């Protein structure tokens, strides 16, 4: 049985789109005609294939929506399996609750499982929706007969990752909005207001104060050379975007970001939290440490830490202690190295990683809130100073002209 997407018309509802499961396109058309639909187009849905970093670089924004839906799917799947509902019935129930492309994804899973495939193998055929972590945890759960608990751990990880993602960016949204708004306001003053006020004074031959001359020079440059500024900004943006599409450019940018005072440490800690959660989740599910490192590498967006994990994996495979391998990378703080050392010696590494993730997560949240709280008044005061300087530069010659008349 396959899944077909269709476009059809209905006399009551108008144009419709959706998906339907059938053995052949003809059977799908017959089923739709039984519903009273006039079929305009029908095609079989195929699972998307891809691998590695190239797929991650080309991933469009709509696939992020599918990933979010898949988190909800995994939670619902775990809940229904835990109360004893059969897998095929669970997949059909969840498919009925969704629409559009994600419904097609779930129906494809049900189709593969009904044909005798394992759930993990069916997930592996849709890498844009289910990543390697999801596939491996599902496979471990199926092999051990604990699929519901494995999926519950996976759902918890994804929910924690969603909460973690973008905490720093979220905290900086308000200062960024203030900065952008004030920048546009300053440009408006410099290009429209200042020339109309200062030009009559220049035509009268009045001597302009130094602040006014500075503002006039900047205003003249913006008015006459705005196209040059726009072209330079466009070229810089294109160059940066092109560099970020290559591993070399992305690695150079991430190395620079990690060296930024305060902010770099927050970025590092946020990435370490994700790594710790991934490793802890995998180790709790019974996956060996080396294999967990391999999966953690593929789920880490930071190339600096990904390279460090790869070097650590090679060292552990060669027989080196985990803590020594982590420490030699130089990419992790001493506290992280100590946690790996204590966890390895006590046999409670997954528990220690969980504690580290919680501690670092709280530090990231607290520090990002403090940075935002400090940046807000600093940005406002700086921009207020800029606007005040512009106003004074335009008012001073007017006041001097008035004094001269008196």
What CATH number is attached to the domain comprising 36? 3.10.20
Residue 195: partners with Cβ closer than 8 Å, 6 or more residues away: 219, 220, 223
Report yes or no: 17 and 5 within 8 Å, Cβ to Cβ. Answer: yes
Give tens-digit pLDDT for 306-335.
999 999 999 988 888 888 888 888 889 999
Using alpha carbons, list the distances in angstroms from residue 309 to 88, 274, 386: 38, 13, 46
Length of the chain counted residue by residue: 406
Mean pLDDT of 65-89: 85
In-domain check, residue 55:
no
User: What is the CB-side half-sphere exposure of residue 308 using CA atoms within 13 A?
Assistant: 25
Tell me: do 192 and 148 sit in the same domain.
no
Backbone angles phi, psi at 3, to 5 degrees: -115, 130
* Domain contains 51: no
Tell me if 153 sits within 8 A of 281, measured CB to CB: yes
Q: In angstroms, what CA-CA distances link 386 with 178, 181, 183, 224?
A: 13, 13, 10, 21
Tens of pLDDT, residue by residue over 114-161, are 878 888 888 888 888 888 888 888 888 887 788 888 888 888 878 877
Decide: residue 84, CB within 10 A, 0-12 exposed, 13-18 middle, 19+ buried.
exposed
pLDDT of amino acid 49: 47
Of the residues 111, 129, 164, the one at which a domain ends: 164
Highest mean pLDDT among 35-44, 180-189, 213-222, 346-355: 346-355
Assigned domain for 52 exists: no
Same domain, 234 and 376: yes
Q: What pLDDT is attached to residue 53?
A: 42
**Cβ 19 vs Cβ 4: under 8 Å:** yes
Both 19 and 107 in one domain: the answer is: no
User: Which two structure tokens, joined as six digits, stand for 87?
Assistant: 């897998």
- Does residue 255 sit within a domain? yes
Do 387 and 253 reside in the same domain of the chain? yes
Q: Are 284 and 278 in contact (CB under 8 A)?
A: no
Whether 289 and 395 share a structural domain: yes
Collapsed DSSP state (helix, strand, coil) of residue 320: coil
Question: What is the share, in percent, of the chain residues with pLDDT greater than 70?
Answer: 87
Among residues 151, 106, 129, the alpha carbon closest in space to that of 49 is found at: 129
Report the SS3 class of residue 210: helix
Residue 210 belongs to some domain of the structure: yes
**How many beta carbons lie within 10 A of that of residue 304, not counting itself?**
19
Mean pLDDT is lowest, of 28-42, 116-130, 344-358, for 28-42
Which residues have CB under 8 Å from 105's CB, separation 6+?
66, 70, 126, 129
* In a domain? residue 53: no
Nearest-angstrom CA–CA distance, 135 and 146:
14
Query: What whole-number distance in Å separates Cα of residue 302 and Cα of residue 251?
Result: 8
Spatial CA neighbour of 308 closest among 273, 339, 270, 272: 272
Element (H, E) at 40: strand 38-44
Confidence of residue 13 (pLDDT cuts 50, 70, 90): low
Q: Are 172 and 301 in the same domain? A: yes
Reduced to 3 DSSP states, what percent helix, strand and coil does the chain have, rounded to the nearest 5?
Answer: 75, 5, 15
| Domain end position, chosen among 149, 164, 179 | 164
Please tell me whether residues 154 and 174 are part of one structural domain. no
Q: Which of 318, 282, 278, 269 is nearest to 300 (CA)?
A: 278
Instruction: For residues 180 and 310, state if they share a domain.
Output: yes
pLDDT value, residue 236: 92
Backbone angles phi, psi at 333, to 5 degrees: -65, 160
Backbone angles phi, psi at 10, to 5 degrees: -130, 140
User: Does 49 fall in a domain?
Assistant: no
Looking at the structure, tell me whether residues 130 and 268 fall in a common domain: no
Neighbours of 15 (CB within 10 A): 10
The Cβ of residue 178 has, within 10 Å, a number of other Cβ atoms equal to: 15
Q: Give the integer Cα–Cα distance in Å for 82 and 102.
A: 23
Q: Which domain holds residue 203?
A: 166-406
Query: Rounded to whole angstroms, what are the CA distances from 223 to 161, 206, 218, 219, 404?
Result: 47, 22, 9, 6, 30
Q: Is the domain of 203 the same as that of 311? A: yes
Q: Which region among 132-146, 200-214, 251-265, 275-289 has the lowest average model confidence (pLDDT)?
A: 200-214
Which CATH number is 175's domain given?
A: 1.20.81.30
Residues 142 and 178 in one domain: no
Beta bridge pairs of residue 214: none
Q: Tell me which of 112, 136, 164 is where a domain ends.
A: 164
Please count the structural domains in the chain: 3
**274 shares a domain with 235:** yes
The predicted pLDDT at position 59 comes to 45
Instruction: Assess if residue 349 is contained within a domain.
Output: yes
């Amino acid at each position: 049985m396959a899944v077909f997407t269709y476009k059809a018309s209905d006399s009551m509802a108008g144009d419709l789109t959706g998906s339907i499961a059938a053995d052949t396109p003809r059977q799908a058309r017959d089923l739709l005609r039984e519903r009273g639909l006039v079929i305009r187009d029908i095609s079989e849905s195929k699972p998307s294939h891809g691998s590695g970093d190239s797929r991650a670089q080309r991933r469009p924004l709509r696939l992020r929506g599918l990933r979010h839906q898949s988190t909800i799917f995994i939670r619902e799947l775990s809940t229904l399996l835990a109360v004893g509902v059969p897998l095929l019935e669970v997949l059909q129930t969840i498919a009925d609750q969704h629409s559009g492309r994600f419904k097609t994804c779930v129906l494809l899973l049900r189709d593969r499982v009904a044909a005798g495939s394992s759930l993990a193998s069916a997930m592996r055929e849709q890498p844009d929706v289910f990543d390697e972590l999801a596939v491996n945890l599902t496979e471990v759960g199926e092999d051990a007969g604990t699929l519901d608990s494995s999926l519950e751990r996976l759902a918890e990880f994804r929910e924690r990752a969603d909460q973690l993602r973008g905490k720093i960016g979220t905290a900086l949204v308000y200062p960024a909005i203030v900065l952008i708004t004030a920048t546009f306001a300053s440009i408006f003053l410099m290009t429209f207001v200042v020339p109309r006020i200062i030009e009559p004074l220049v035509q009268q031959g009045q001597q302009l104060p130094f602040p006014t001359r500075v503002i006039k020079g900047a205003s003249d440059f913006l008015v006459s050379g705005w196209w040059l500024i726009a072209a330079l900004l466009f070229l810089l943006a294109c160059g940066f975007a092109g560099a970020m599409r290559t591993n070399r450019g992305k690695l150079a940018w991430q190395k620079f970001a990690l060296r930024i005072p305060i902010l770099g440490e927050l970025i590092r800690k946020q990435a370490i939290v994700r790594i710790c959660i991934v490793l802890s989740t995998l180790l709790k599910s019974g996956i060996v440490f080396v294999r967990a490192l391999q999966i953690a590498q593929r789920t880490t967006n930071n190339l600096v830490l990904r390279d460090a994990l790869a070097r650590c994996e090679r060292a552990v495979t060669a027989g080196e202690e985990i803590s020594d391998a982590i420490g030699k990378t130089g990419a992790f703080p001493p506290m992280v190295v100590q946690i790996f050392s204590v966890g390895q010696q006590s046999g409670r590494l997954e528990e220690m990683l969980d504690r580290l993730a919680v501690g670092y997560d709280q530090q990231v949240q607290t520090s990002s809130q403090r940075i935002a709280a400090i940046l807000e008044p600093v940005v406002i005061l700086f921009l207020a100073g800029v606007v005040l300087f512009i106003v004074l530069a335009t008012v001073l010659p007017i006041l001097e002209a008035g004094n001269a008349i008196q």
